Structure 1
Amino acid sequence: MGMKSSSDESPEPRRGGNTDDGMVVLSYILAGLILYGGLGWLGDHFLHTSWLLPVGLIVGLVCSIYLIIKRYGRFE
């Protein structure tokens, strides 16, 4: 009557690894590399430099790893 069933509650995130988690991690890494690498490539192209692409790729990878650790917590 006045009680909530357990199915009405919002589900908590699972801590076990599965294929969906792996795909999310892979997409974070690829998105960071493509976004910041693309920005670095554009900067290299328009500013006539040769160092912004590698910097953009490294920054994208570091940001991706930060977001992955923030989302899934520390490694146990």
Structure 2
Amino acid sequence: MSQPDDSPKGDPWRAFGYIVAGVAFYGFLGWLADRWLDTHFLVAIGVVLGAALGIYMTVARFTPDDAAPQNPTDTHSQDTE
């Protein structure tokens, strides 16, 4: 009988990359919008929005799906009866 493995299944560099990429991408879009609209606040909004979306993507990617069946061969056991 094997014990379930409770160790984290995600790559921390990938999680870090999601957050940094979100900040960089949306910060850059905010900077472009600031230059285009001649404002000075959209880059800050882009950075905050990028960080929030990066954190959301990290949580969505690395949160275990409790609804998934534990044994992949049991997926059709209800359908065959």
TM-score normalised per structure 1? 0.70
Query: What amino acid does structure 2 have at the position aligned with 1:16?
Result: S
Structure 2: which 5+ runs fail to align?
65-81
Q: Flag the 1:46–1:23 CA change in 2: closer, same or farther, 3 A.
A: same
| Structure showing greater Rg | 2
TM-score normalised per structure 2? 0.66
Query: What amino acid does structure 1 have at the position aligned with 2:24?
Result: I
Query: What amino acid does structure 2 have at the position aligned with 1:38?
Result: F
Within 2, Cα distance between the matches of 1:36 and 1:71? 20
Aligned length: 60
Q: Which runs of 4+ in 1 moved over 3 A?
A: none
Match of 1:65 among 34, 55, 58: 55
Higher share in helix: 1
CA RMSD of superposed structures (Å): 2.1
Match of 1:30 among 20, 29, 37: 20
Structure 1: which 5+ runs fail to align?
1-13
C-alpha offsets along residues 4-60 of structure 1, whole Å, 9 cap, x if unaligned? xxxxxxxxxx86347x71110111011000100000000001110011000000000
